[in-house]
Amino acid sequence: MDVALESRVVPDRVGFSRKLKAYFALTKPRVIELLLVVTVPTMILAQGGIPNLWLVLVTVVGGAMSAGSAGAFNCYIDRDIDRLMKRTKRRPLVTGELTDREALVFSWTLGIASILVLGFFANWFAAALSLIAILLYVVFYTLVLKRRTSQNIIWGGVAGCMPVLIGWAAVTDSLSWTPFILFSVIFLWTPPHYWPLSMKYREDYKTAGVPMLAVVRGRTVVGLQVILYAWATVACSLLLIPIAHMGLTYTVVALGTGGWFIYETHRLYNLAIRHDQVSPMRVFHGSIVYLTLLFVAIAIDPLLPF
């Protein structure tokens, strides 16, 4: 019997509550949470204050549905390699809590619903950007890049940058330089966020045949790349100060958290070149804290008089 099939535990009967939790897990809720962290502050910045709360609600709901649809499609497409990796062995399509058909129908339904929600209750420009985000993650990243190149997370990360464009478009029905700078910050942040995770789960990715940078290159190379992208991320974040006319609050937070983020990446690299025991998850979790604090500052800054 195939090893992948042996690892799949198919329960005799899945109750309603367990099925509901399985559908929720299929959407990758932790990814959704992070994406929504950047959407609301972007909307506040676009408005120059507190935007219409109904608009915020429908944009958050529509955006969550869009990201959930992309995540569900990803789980469906990657179900074969998810069965080989310890990190993903509890996903619903691996455990058998959901069938392949259930996952595929759910993915399509959630994706279509997200576009309709954004289109009818925000605007169709935001809805179109949401559709592009789904296609980028499902087709460009999952189907085309993930299993073919070590640069997969760099260009595949474009999909994760789309929420700032969607949030800005929901408020203004247009785009300007400011949302593209926010887009670039997240784009540059993605490698130093994800590559440390791939260092920890290197053997998982190697077993599954996914050519993450940590699989095809040594940890010293990965550590150096993490440093370079961290510096680029912080430098890009400072462009908001002159272009978006950010105030003292954002400037202090961007410099303070950016300096700390860069320090952590240098620490990871120094441990790697000395062949000491590295702690890549410290940088992984630290990158989430950095981005969260940066976007909290983006939300607060327009509300303050200085």
Give the Cα separation of 56 and 53 in Å (integer).
Answer: 5
Q: Is the pTM of this model over 0.75?
A: yes
Give the Cα separation of 234 and 247 in Å (integer).
Answer: 17
Tell me the three state secondary structure of residue 145. Answer: helix
Rounded to a whole number, what is the distance in angstroms from the first to the last CA of the chain? Answer: 67
Residue-wise pLDDT tens digits, 120-144: 999 999 999 999 999 999 999 999 9
Residue-wise pLDDT tens digits, 194-245: 998 888 888 888 888 888 888 888 788 888 999 999 999 999 999 999 999 9
Q: Does the pLDDT at position 95 exceed 50? A: yes
pLDDT band at 13 (very low <50, low <70, confident <90, very high): low
The answer for residues whose C-beta is within 8 angstroms of residue 209's C-beta and 6 or more apart is 81, 147
Q: What's the sign of the alpha-carbon dihedral 143, 146, 150, 154?
A: positive
Model pLDDT, residue 1:
38
The overall average pLDDT reported for the chain is: 91
Percentage with pLDDT > 70 across the chain: 95
CA 194 to mean position of chain CA atoms: 9
Radius of gyration of the chain (CA): 20
pLDDT band at 15 (very low <50, low <70, confident <90, very high): confident
Q: What's the sign of the alpha-carbon dihedral 216, 220, 223, 227?
A: negative
* Complete domains list, the chain, with CATH: 19-173 (1.10.357.140), 176-306 (1.20.120.1780)
Residue-wise pLDDT tens digits, 41-88: 999 999 999 999 999 999 999 999 999 999 999 999 999 999 998 888
